[in-house]
Structure 1
Amino acid sequence: MQTLSKSTINISLIKDDLYQAVNGAWLKTAKIPADKPVTGGFADLADTIEKTLMADFKKLQPTTVTDPYLAEFLKFYQLAANFKKRNQLGFEPVRVYAERILKLKDLKDWQAQLGDLTFAGYPIPFPLYVEPDMKNTSQYALMADVPSLILPDKTYYQKGNPAAAALLKIYQQMLHEVLKLAGYDDALINKVTTETLAFDQLLVPHVKDSTERADYVKAYNKYSLEDFAASSSNIDLKHYIQSLIGTLPDQVIVTEPQYYAALNQLITAENFEKIRSWIFVKTVLNSTGFLSDQLRIIGGQYHRAISGSKEPMKPQKSAYYLATSQFDQVVGLYYAHKYFGAQAKTDVTDMVQKMVAVYKKRLASNNWLSQATRDKAILKLDKLGIQVGYPEKLAELYKKFKVKGNSLVENVLRFEQIANHDHYAKWGKPVDRTRWEMSAHTVNAYYNPSYNIIVFPAAILQAPFYSLDQSASENFGGIGAVIAHEISHAFDNNGAHFDEYGNLHNWWTKEDLAHFKKLAQQMIAEFDGLKTPAGKVNGKLVVSENIADAGGLSCALEAAKSEPAPDLRAFFINWARVWCMKSSLERQKLLLNIDVHAPNELRANVQPKNLADFYQTFKIQPSDGMYLPPEKRVNIW
């Protein structure tokens, strides 16, 4: 990992390009790891944690640790890392599992096994799951979602997209190699490949693209049970639901009505063989990660082509990620308890509370909200949940993961069954609003609108985001802006639709909401069409994160200014530093199409242009590259 040095900052360049001024010297020499598509920023912190934990786990043994759940993780990790055995067994451990699909005779046969197949982890083209009801988050709702396409997004299927043909060729070649290694003949390989691609094409016209999905409020579409069941005359959806949750709900929430309007023409007897091949192919490819090293490497070709990773991970590293993904919260608690200090947790919690107070103050003095809306916004902040570092207890699910025998695949498939039964068993039970969606060793943070809660895992609470060795101004430019970013999600174009309890409920006056939408449109316009090496930015796709970035930076700036002897140069420089990242062109192109975050360089450069303090701090003039005319500056929160 190459460390970004503070001494390499080109002060003279700040007026024209803040991001390059701070990160340019590092970017010129930084090398992207061959087995990853990115380096710098968040990725470097994750790489450091990866190396630290791999070194720790190499020394630990299941029989020598006192934590029984960590012991189970270590047993599983040892199975995952035993490539001698994995290579000897090849495809055999999943053959029966995969060929169960090939033995399905028709729709009726599939229908009879649908519930069991779902619990066993097989792909289903009309996936059902339980989530807190967005309009009553104290209770669970049954959700009906859509399957993933083979290409990364619906837009890739548009005529003239140059990436589509190349990616589909790689996908087909990968599938052929995997199935050949598994011992299947060319006739079956060609049949399942052709039929899988054909069914994938049938799905395309009926699903949303990434920009449409980014407006997740529109994913709440309430159907009565009768209306949902009428989506298919060929599958008994009521029977399927009963097999999953043990009862029949009054309603089903459909994320994409257009897809379910077409379900009856997709799931037909005429399409059954295409569906069967689609399930079989997805099952096989999903299994390659825990088979022989050769199958693992071949099975990752398509993902590497999309991301731009030049080489597969080394076997031991892949075993680490397989094991930690299965026991992520267990590993997170180990990391947090060993490497995250109580002083840091207290300090960051204080910073979060300070940022909430700043936000309240800004809302109270807001000049475009009415008093009624302002009062509701402040109430939402009063009810905001704050979680820092790590969860207080291990989720019950992880206590059920007990390694049995010495077969990696048997344990993987059994854990899948346990996790799926645990998931559907939530139906009818109280919603646990304290549940963490990220492990403590994840370098990230999030706001959950349905819980009205912000969460900061221990892993992100380190330099350059946060350090006891950094000045207050630097910390506010790093973790302070991240904290306020997550708070701002409560008031972005999606989060603003949820009330203080996390329920989807309009608490705005008509006039305030209309004004907010105009401001959001200005943020869309500010980013829309900006050029990057990978193409142009879609302002609508990234608007929610840009609203959060803008609110986060401006609120963190106010907090920094309230400290004794604030150093705004250090504040803005560290803001640019945390976004330092170098990634493959392939990854950049992918993210432009599917990611709701703007490219890092633009996140670093555009938001400071909206703030008067940035111009005063660095004496930015109209002739400078970082200058934006006042009438084009966007300020929402």
Structure 2
Amino acid sequence: MNRKYLQVAAIIPLMMTGNAQAQPAATPAGDAGIRIENLDKTADPAVDFYQYACGGWMKTHPLTGEYSRFGSFDMLAENNREQLKSLIEEIAGRKNEPGTVAQKIGDLYNLAMDSTRRNAEGVAPLKPWLDRVGAIKDKRELSTFLPELMLIGIDPFFSVYVEADVMDSKQNLFGTYQGGLSLGERDYYLENDESTTKVREAFKAHVVKMFEMFGYSKADARKRMEDVMRIETRLARSHFDKVKRRDPYANYHKMPVSGLQKLVPNIDWTKFLATLKVDIKELSVSQEEPMKEVSKVIAAEPLSAIKSYLEWKLIDNAASSLSDEVYALNFDFYGRVLSGKTEMQPRWKRAQGSVSGGLGEAVGELYVAKYFPPAAKERMVNLVHNLQKAYAARIEKLDWMSAETKQRALEKLNAFYVKIGYPDKWKDYSPLEIKPEETYLANMDRVSRFAVREMLDKATKPVDRDKWYMTPQTVNAYYNPTTNEICFPAGILQYPFFDMQADDAFNYGAIGVVIGHEMTHGFDDQGRQFDKDGNLKNWWTEADAKKFNERAKVMSDFYDSIYVAPGVHANGKFTLGETLADFGGLQIAYQAFKEATAGQPQEDKLGFTPDQRFFLAYSFVWAGNIRDEEILRRTKTDPHALGKWRVNGELPQIDAWYKAFGITESSPMFIPKEKRVTIW
């Protein structure tokens, strides 16, 4: 299921594209944390600080065919994957008691690895679903068939979700959200520049080839492709763009079920909700216009075209769970064309991804037991506390914010719910059955049903603040506005983000900024609209809100001016939440570092001052190589700035960086002080 637009603000996209090959460990960093071989000493830090701080590592970690981007996050995720491999393969290699978590992990992994069986089955495992689409005789049947697809994780036309009611954050709310686009983002259907047109034409060819693989004639496949493109393009025209989706008020429309019936009359919502087994009286229609268009599409399009679209959604969803031939064809478009990859992931990584996706906390429990030391959690707790203190001090000294708003900001800061490492209570997987006698696709459908059912069953229940939105092994972190929580899974609490052997200069520059980044999401252009209890409620004076927006505009305008590729600008409004979070993270972590080490002798190490090592540690977090195709894709779809600009775009906004590296007005990276971002 797609996660709702404001559910979590992560430091990198929740769904990372491309996994990396294992890399040899660098030489020990020692207590300085910095590894000299990662730098490019031939580069001038005043001209291109990203190249200076990361160029050595980028040179020794060139892109290979398996991935479209490879950076520090991916390197650590790959190390974690290697650790999990031994744990999962040990379980999969033995006989496990039926119904146990071990049986589910082992059998799902073995099903994913059994290429001989899947190749023999070919496309047959999907045939029962395709036959059901073929048997639809009346559009009225869509009111029960669409939710059946949603129960196995497919979202034709739109998606549904259950999350906290943003106006009443202690209570869950069922909602609808725009969806149904195979390419994910409306721009792919509507823009006509050369690169977008190329992707769109390749997608059309891909759809035809996939239909042919499933036994349709070339003429039938082409006709079905035209149906799919016509329907998805109609949906795309009605969709909110990526900037408007960031406005929480514009994406919330609470109404009784009868109101949705009037808005979207061509679906019987009583039958729809009954099929989902959801008993509700009210819901939120996140975007009304796209839902109105869904109703119009169902009314206007012939049933045959709608069936083509549903067949495609089933084929597209099943492609990674069928034969090698189907998977390879699917990779040719989504991997090669869309992201620029040239090689598929090894089968064991794909299998492990399925297990971690379906039984994530069960795998996470194994992971933390073996690889997450209690001392790491203790040190993180101290770092978080120090950053909260530094944030409070900065808020209190703001010259542009009134005392009234400051007080409420401090209340929100002090109310942060902090999660570190892993959940206190592990998820119960007993309702999930993995049946090795059935096909891999059938079992993946069962995995999806378990996840969707778990979500839907919360529709009328209070919000569970202890729920985790990432697994412990995830290399990431997040802020959730409706629970006002910051979360740092065990997976990210390792080098190059966190090093138990390194000094404060390194750790505050790396994981300290990550902590500050997530804290700042509580006060970015979206997060600031939620109060300390997680409700969408204005706690700012009108004058303070205006001043905030003026300062935030400096950041969005700056990123609008950046060329990420020839003729392609960054989208400063789309990335604003993340660029503000990076800025705030740097400001807060630097102050926390200075306060934590005040009165203590700070030594130069490896020829760098403590302040220099702070900024080098931060910069290396974003080290990475990326393909041109992936740059264009992320610019359309990713609310985060590209790694290069999370360094070269952010550091010139930080006064302390200029002093640390002696950056002067003659530097191409220099920004006059009066033009720098000044918020937190």
TM-score range, shorter chain: over 0.9
Which residue does the alignment assign to 1:124?
156
Residue type of the partner of 1:255?
S
Pairing 1:269-348 to 2, within 5 Å after superposition: 270-304=301-335, 305-348=337-380
> Could you state the TM-score of these two structures normalised by the residue count of structure 2?
0.89
> Could you state the TM-score of these two structures normalised by the residue count of structure 1?
0.95
| Higher alpha-carbon deviation: 19-28 or 302-311 | 19-28
Query: Is 2:601 aligned against 1:581?
Result: no
In the alignment, the residues of structure 2 paired with residue 113 and residue 601 of structure 1 have an alpha-carbon distance, to the nearest angstrom, of 46
Which residue does the alignment assign to 2:18?
none
| Higher alpha-carbon deviation: 46-55 or 158-167 | 158-167
In the alignment, the residues of structure 2 paired with residue 257 and residue 358 of structure 1 have an alpha-carbon distance, to the nearest angstrom, of 42
Residue type of the partner of 1:429?
K
The list of structure 1 runs, each at least 4 consecutive aligned residues, that deviate by more than 6 angstroms after superposition, is 64-67
**1:159 to partner: Cα distance:** 4.8
Identify which of 227, 231, 234 aligns with 2:259. 227
Secondary structure of 2:107's counterpart equals helix
In the alignment, the residues of structure 1 paired with residue 483 and residue 456 of structure 2 have an alpha-carbon distance, to the nearest angstrom, of 20
Identify which of 492, 510, 520 aligns with 1:460. 492
Pairing 1:168-247 to 2, within 5 Å after superposition: 168-247=200-279
Identify which of 17, 33, 36 aligns with 1:6. 36
Query: Is 2:444 aligned against 1:412?
Result: yes
In the alignment, the residues of structure 2 paired with residue 116 and residue 570 of structure 1 have an alpha-carbon distance, to the nearest angstrom, of 54
Query: Is 2:641 aligned against 1:598?
Result: yes
2:498 and 2:510 in contact (8 A); partners too: yes
Identify which of 156, 172, 176 aligns with 1:140. 172
Relative distance call for 1:30 and 1:493 in structure 2 (3 A) is same
Aligned residues: 635
**1:3 to partner: Cα distance:** 5.8
| Higher alpha-carbon deviation: 221-230 or 192-201 | 221-230
**1:518 to partner: Cα distance:** 0.8
Which residue does the alignment assign to 2:72?
41
Which residue does the alignment assign to 2:543?
511
2:338 and 2:630 in contact (8 A); partners too: yes
| Higher alpha-carbon deviation: 237-246 or 83-92 | 237-246
In the alignment, the residues of structure 2 paired with residue 116 and residue 282 of structure 1 have an alpha-carbon distance, to the nearest angstrom, of 13
| Higher alpha-carbon deviation: 230-239 or 541-550 | 230-239
Residue type of the partner of 2:299?
T
In the alignment, the residues of structure 2 paired with residue 311 and residue 292 of structure 1 have an alpha-carbon distance, to the nearest angstrom, of 17
**1:272 to partner: Cα distance:** 2.9
Secondary structure of 1:223's counterpart equals strand
**1:487 to partner: Cα distance:** 0.2
- Overall identity of the aligned pairs, in %: 28
Can you list the C-alpha shifts for 1:396-423, whole angstroms capped at 9, x where unaligned?
A: 3x33223224222222222323332222
Secondary structure of 2:250's counterpart equals helix
Relative distance call for 1:360 and 1:245 in structure 2 (3 A) is farther
Relative distance call for 1:121 and 1:28 in structure 2 (3 A) is closer
Query: Is 2:149 aligned against 1:106?
Result: no
In the alignment, the residues of structure 1 paired with residue 372 and residue 229 of structure 2 have an alpha-carbon distance, to the nearest angstrom, of 47
Identify which of 577, 587, 592 aligns with 1:554. 587
Which residue does the alignment assign to 1:72?
104
In the alignment, the residues of structure 2 paired with residue 419 and residue 85 of structure 1 have an alpha-carbon distance, to the nearest angstrom, of 26
Which residue does the alignment assign to 1:617?
660
RMSD, aligned α-carbons: 2.1
Gaps of 5+ in 1: none
2:92 and 2:110 in contact (8 A); partners too: no
Which residue does the alignment assign to 1:571?
614
**1:227 to partner: Cα distance:** 2.5
In the alignment, the residues of structure 2 paired with residue 412 and residue 276 of structure 1 have an alpha-carbon distance, to the nearest angstrom, of 23
**1:575 to partner: Cα distance:** 1.0
Relative distance call for 1:310 and 1:405 in structure 2 (3 A) is closer
Can you list the C-alpha shifts for 1:470-490, whole angstroms capped at 9, x where unaligned?
A: 221111000000000000000
Relative distance call for 1:589 and 1:126 in structure 2 (3 A) is closer
Residue type of the partner of 1:538?
N
Relative distance call for 1:454 and 1:202 in structure 2 (3 A) is same
Relative distance call for 1:101 and 1:153 in structure 2 (3 A) is same
Which residue does the alignment assign to 2:503?
471
Query: Is 2:127 aligned against 1:84?
Result: no
| Higher alpha-carbon deviation: 341-350 or 357-366 | 357-366
Identify which of 622, 647, 669 aligns with 1:626. 669
**1:217 to partner: Cα distance:** 4.3
Can you list the C-alpha shifts for 1:212-247, whole angstroms capped at 9, x where unaligned?
A: 223344312223433221122322223323443443
2:190 and 2:236 in contact (8 A); partners too: no
Relative distance call for 1:264 and 1:129 in structure 2 (3 A) is same
**1:296 to partner: Cα distance:** 1.3
In the alignment, the residues of structure 1 paired with residue 491 and residue 112 of structure 2 have an alpha-carbon distance, to the nearest angstrom, of 24
Which residue does the alignment assign to 1:53?
84
In the alignment, the residues of structure 2 paired with residue 102 and residue 39 of structure 1 have an alpha-carbon distance, to the nearest angstrom, of 43
Secondary structure of 1:381's counterpart equals helix
Can you list the C-alpha shifts for 1:356-379, whole angstroms capped at 9, x where unaligned?
A: 111112112222211111111111
**1:114 to partner: Cα distance:** 4.1
Query: Is 2:433 aligned against 1:402?
Result: yes
**1:64 to partner: Cα distance:** 6.8
